[in-house]
Amino acid sequence: MADFPETLDSLKSLIQERSVNIDPNQHIHIAWICISEDSRRVEPAEEELVKMLEDRRIPILAVITKSRADNGFRAEVLRILPLVSNAVNVRAIKEELDEGIILPPKGLKELVRATMQIVPKGLENAFTAAQKVDIESKKKQSHMIVGLASASAAGIALVPIPLADAALIMPIQIGMLSSISATFGLSIDQSFLSTIIGSIISGTGGTLAGRFIAANLFKLIPGAGSAIGGTILASTAAAITIAIGEAYIAVLVMLFVKNDGESPDLEEVAKEFKAKCLQITRVS
């Protein structure tokens, strides 16, 4: 018990390390907390351990070791540790007492049976956690794709040639969405891309057209007007590109979570994305 804080910290680190793995088989699915029957008490540290495991959604089974005569101790363990799923009395090895009395092993089959009843819940929790880790990783990578695309769109918009940017920014946005789709493991085809393009145009077309026309009119003015127009277009192109990219990420995350990590139907993706694009228009 003198080293309990260090032991608990090590255990927390192990659980954290396993829980961020995208493979649910690497997670911890169940915990046994072993309490010696000889002590006839549950230590405060054991209560703390159970609470820590429960906070991390790990199912817990109390194992009462070196069991000889329960005398109500199992019931006391369950009373003090209400977060455990069950408690099993176990004597793992044969024990020889005075006067030649031999106590055979007991409770091992019951321990296995109780464990197997709890493991499915642990696997379910692990799968859910692994899906969250996987989705968070894809979100992070997708945010980087959006950042690069918005910078490229802004750079093109700064070109001082009127109307040269509008035709070049859309391909950047389409490439951005294609990269995000690939990051999430979606199998995209030409018809899906056409639907996505239609969603952008119908959802943000009015917003884009108004701003691009106004900014391009500035570009027609020599000198300062061209610089002003380029600055307006750069900020607009970056903002719209970011809005489109983040809307697409939000749609994919929502649908993947809804489908428990499975790839959503592309028609559903297109429908939800079009709705998001319409929201961009209203906000703009």
pLDDT tens digit sequence for 52-68: 999 988 999 999 999 98
Give 134-172 pLDDT, tens digit per residue.
888 889 999 999 999 988 888 876 655 444 455 677 788
Predicted confidence at residue 121, as pLDDT, reads 84
Predicted confidence at residue 214, as pLDDT, reads 43
Low-confidence ranges of the chain (pLDDT < 50): 161-164, 206-207, 209-221, 223-230, 283-284
Determine the Cα–Cα distance for residues 66 and 89; give it in Å rounded to an integer. 8
Predicted confidence at residue 59, as pLDDT, reads 92
Predicted confidence at residue 226, as pLDDT, reads 46
Give the number of C-alpha atoms closer than 13 A to the C-alpha of residue 215, restricted to the C-beta side.
27
Classify 46 as helix, strand or coil.
helix
Q: How far is CA 263 from CA 68, 100, 105, 183, 185, in A?
A: 54, 65, 50, 12, 8
Query: Which CATH architecture does the domain made up of 4-106 adopt?
Result: 3-Layer(aba) Sandwich (3.40)
User: Which helix H or strand E contains 64, and what residues bound it?
Assistant: strand 60-65
Q: pTM of the predicted model, to two decimals?
A: 0.57
DSSP labels, 195-250: HHHHHHHHHHHHHHHHHHHHHHHHHTSTTHHHHHHHHHHHHHHHHHHHHHHHHHHH
**Alpha helices (H) along the chain:** 4-19, 44-55, 73-80, 108-157, 166-183, 190-219, 224-258, 266-283
Predicted confidence at residue 67, as pLDDT, reads 93
- Mean of pLDDT over the chain: 80
